[in-house]
């Protein structure tokens, strides 16, 4: 088996964050049992039983009660092999010590925490309910229970955030005993609270200034960028997310989850009512060879390692350097991409304008 991931979506949240546009519902105990039954059935129906990583995302998986959490992890236990990555997303305010002990007991070895910012005024705007004391408490509890591979998310470009607040956030997050940091520029998406309140995204130049500062400072503190938005201590890259970027297969189960198996990409309904009736798949796309090449390049070029010219040839029986010869030559001349050790790579200082480079290469 090549590497294949399992993504499990838990859509329930104790409150809704102002920027979030994932498939989500306010936590309601009456739906959980039926939802977990449907998750289990969906995995069984897939007829896949071997996964090299598991990622439980949301929503807020840590909003489940201890009993519900045990039920979820019991469902997933047969699919987790020792030494494989088993990651779990959580929020600080509901990841109790008891829940951490349950995660550890069932083999979870990586936890991703929605930190976003340390600034209390900004946290209020985001509709988040943790503070600095809670951040330290939860991270210490995780480490004390033996879960030491910890990611924290950071958002920049928030309404009311200035460079000074960003500096403070970066200083504090890099001083935490964690192994991984994911940073995201705020994007205001339809149907979110920020969109309804007409919050505006900051100017591209400001995003660029913030991003360059983050990349530089995180590197100084030992967090290496390996993907546009992701930074890790050596050896702590997200194994599950690397599957996506390297265009490997994954099964996504649960509300709104996406899958890529064989030459098919499909995603589930975001309607809880439909999902609980067993009506799952909403969109399905059968990929042509051209589509597969497109995804391979679009995802792989997000990585600092870029894409392998040999692997492209093996998978698609085409020479990448011949097929995209003129476009690569033009991008090389402009120092936007480079060819190095048999790989096509976006130059480090230009990963921020990846969308522009992809547009030039693929369209």
Summarised one tens digit per residue, pLDDT across range 1-14 is: 468 999 999 999 98
pLDDT score, position 134: 97
Long-range contacts of 32-35 (CB under 8 A, 24+ apart): 32/64, 32/65, 32/68, 33/68, 33/71, 34/276, 35/11, 35/254, 35/272, 35/275, 35/276
pLDDT band of residue 84 (cuts 50, 70, 90) is: very high
Within-domain flag for 264: no
pLDDT tens figures, 317-340? 999 999 999 999 999 999 999 999
Residue 215: domain span: 4-243
pLDDT score, position 24: 81
pTM to 2 decimal places: 0.96
pLDDT tens figures, 190-237? 988 898 899 999 999 999 999 999 999 999 999 999 999 999 999 999
Residues 217 and 320 in one domain: no
Q: Vertex 354, ends 350 and 357: CA angle to 5°? A: 95
- From start to end of the chain, where are the E strands? 4-10, 12-13, 25-26, 53-58, 85-90, 110-116, 149-156, 180-185, 224-227, 230-232, 249-253, 258-261, 264-268, 281-286, 307-308, 337-340, 343-346
pLDDT score, position 1: 43
pLDDT tens figures, 227-265? 999 999 999 999 999 999 999 999 999 999 999 999 999
pLDDT score, position 100: 98
Q: What is the CATH number of the domain that holds 318?
A: 1.10.10.920
| 351, pLDDT greater than 80 | yes
Within-domain flag for 349: yes
Within-domain flag for 340: yes
Percent of residues, the chain, with pLDDT higher than 90: 92
Percent of residues, the chain, with pLDDT higher than 70: 99
pLDDT score, position 354: 96
Residues 26 and 122 in one domain: yes
Within-domain flag for 41: yes
Residues 350 and 218 in one domain: no
Residues 215 and 321 in one domain: no
Residues 307 and 212 in one domain: no
Q: What is the CATH number of the domain that holds 195?
A: 3.20.20.70
Residues 311 and 230 in one domain: no
The total number of structural domains that make up the chain: 2
- Average pLDDT, whole number, for the chain? 96
pLDDT tens figures, 92-113? 999 999 999 999 999 999 999 9
Residues 237 and 293 in one domain: no
Within-domain flag for 199: yes
Residues 193 and 44 in one domain: yes
Within-domain flag for 270: no
Residues 34 and 151 in one domain: yes
pLDDT score, position 168: 98
Phi, psi angles (nearest 5°) of residue 91:
-110, 150
Of 288, 292, 289, 285, give the one whose Cα is nearest residue 307: 292
C-beta neighbour count of 251 within 10 angstroms = 20
159 within 8 A of 119, measured Cβ to Cβ: no
Residues 330 and 214 in one domain: no
Within-domain flag for 154: yes
- Residue 169: is it exposed, middle or buried by C-beta count within 10 angstroms (0-12/13-18/19+)? buried
Within-domain flag for 256: no
Residues 145 and 10 in one domain: yes
| Tokens read off for 124 | 């209020």
C-beta neighbour count of 289 within 10 angstroms = 12
Residues 212 and 331 in one domain: no
Going from the C-alpha of 152 to that of each of 90, 178, 362, 363, the distances in angstroms are: 10, 8, 33, 35
């Amino acid at each position: 088996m090549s590497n294949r991931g399992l993504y499990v979506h838990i859509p329930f949240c104790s409150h809704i964050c102002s920027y979030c546009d994932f498939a989500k519902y306010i936590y309601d105990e009456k739906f959980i049992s039926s939802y977990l039954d449907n998750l289990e059935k969906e995995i069984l129906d897939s007829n896949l039983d071997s996964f090299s990583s598991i990622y439980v995302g949301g929503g807020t998986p840590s909003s489940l009660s201890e009993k519900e959490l045990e039920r979820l992890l019991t469902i997933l236990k047969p699919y987790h092999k020792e030494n494989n990555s088993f990651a779990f997303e959580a929020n600080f305010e509901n990841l109790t010590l008891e829940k951490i002990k349950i995660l550890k007991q069932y083999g979870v070895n990586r936890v991703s925490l929605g930190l976003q910012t340390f600034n209390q005024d900004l946290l209020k705007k985001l509709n988040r309910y943790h503070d600095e004391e809670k951040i330290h408490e939860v991270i210490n509890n995780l480490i004390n229970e033996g879960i030491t591979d910890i990611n924290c998310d950071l958002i920049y470009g928030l309404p009311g955030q200035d460079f000074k607040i960003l500096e403070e956030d970066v200083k504090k997050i890099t001083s935490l005993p964690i192994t991984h940091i994911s940073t995201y520029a705020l994007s205001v998406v339809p149907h979110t609270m920020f969109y309804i309140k007409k919050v505006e995204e900051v100017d591209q130049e400001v995003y660029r200034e913030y991003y360059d500062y983050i990349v530089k400072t995180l590197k100084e503190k030992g967090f290496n960028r390996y993907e546009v938005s992701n930074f890790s201590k050596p050896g702590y890259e997200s194994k599950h997310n690397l599957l996506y970027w390297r265009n490997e297969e994954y099964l996504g189960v649960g509300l709104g989850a996406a899958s890529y198996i064989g030459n098919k990409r499909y995603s589930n309904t975001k309607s809880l009512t439909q999902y609980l009736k067993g009506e799952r798949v909403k969109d399905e796309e059968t990929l042509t060879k051209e589509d597969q090449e497109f995804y391979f390049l679009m995802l792989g070029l997000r990585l600092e390692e870029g894409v392998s010219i040999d692997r492209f040839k093996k998978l698609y029986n085409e020479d990448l350097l011949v097929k995209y010869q003129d476009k690569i030559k033009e991008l090389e001349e402009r120092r936007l991409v480079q060819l190095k050790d048999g790989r096509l790579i976006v130059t480090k200082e230009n990963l921020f304008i990846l969308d522009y480079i992809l547009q030039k290469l693929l369209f």
